[in-house]
């Protein structure tokens, strides 16, 4: 026998070598692959998550924003009062968008104050109109003046990132499969 056959990689004849795992049909290869697969499955999760699809209707481009808590806010500056307005929206299981509340700091022209089957509260100096209004999609003409934006968790996205000024943006929710480590 040649010396390379006797001591391959510091192992003597008869000991297990890395190449033993590579042989087709080897039980050791199959078991190793199964163990690795189980480790990968345990260390990550596969599932559906809610995602907002923002489509620039004129350009046809689409952008996606994950919404892990199913809640986001559409915000803008009111044209008369020049104060922020936040519309809080929840994504249902069937991806229907439900406007749950509108928050603003002052009552007056153009501000809602009464809604059938809803309630208006003043919480820490902010008016909160609570109700439920369902949408399949929200179509919005985006203007730079009211500073339209969308907030998911701690992240805020100016809507002008997704369309040009005065562009039409379609917002809807979908389910997407995701793999998380």
The pLDDT value recorded for residue 36 is: 82
What Cα–Cα distance (Å) separates residue 105 from each residue in 45, 113, 125, 132, 153?
A: 41, 12, 7, 20, 21
Report the candidate in 81, 72, 88 with the shortest Cα–Cα distance to residue 155. Answer: 72
The pLDDT value recorded for residue 35 is: 84
The pLDDT value recorded for residue 142 is: 95
- Cα gap 142→15, rounded to integer Å: 70
Does the reported pTM lie above 0.85? no
Residues of the chain with pLDDT under 70: 1-26, 41, 44-45, 80-81, 108-115, 117, 179-181
Report the candidate in 145, 136, 131 with the shortest Cα–Cα distance to residue 171. Answer: 136
The residue extents of the domains of the chain are 3-43, 50-180
Read off φ and ψ for residue 5, nearest 5 degrees: -85, -30
């Amino acid at each position: 026998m040649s010396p390379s056959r006797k001591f391959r990689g510091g192992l003597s004849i008869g000991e297990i070598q890395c190449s033993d795992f590579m042989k087709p049909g080897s039980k050791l290869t199959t078991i190793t692959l199964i163990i690795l697969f189980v480790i990968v499955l345990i260390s990550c999760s596969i599932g559906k998550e809610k995602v907002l699809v923002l489509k620039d209707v004129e350009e046809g481009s689409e952008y996606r924003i994950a919404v892990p808590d199913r809640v986001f806010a559409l915000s803008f500056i009111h044209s008369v009062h020049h104060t922020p307005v936040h519309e809080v929206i929840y994504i249902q299981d069937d991806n229907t968008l439900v406007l749950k509340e509108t928050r603003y700091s002052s009552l007056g022209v153009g501000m809602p104050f009464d809604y059938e089957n809803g309630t208006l509260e003043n919480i820490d100096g902010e008016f909160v109109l609570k109700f439920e209004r369902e949408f399949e999609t929200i179509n919005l003409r985006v203007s730079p003046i009211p500073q339209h934006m969308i907030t998911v968790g701690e992240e805020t996205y100016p809507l002008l990132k997704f369309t040009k000024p005065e562009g039409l943006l379609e917002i809807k929710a979908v389910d997407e499969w995701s793999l998380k480590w």
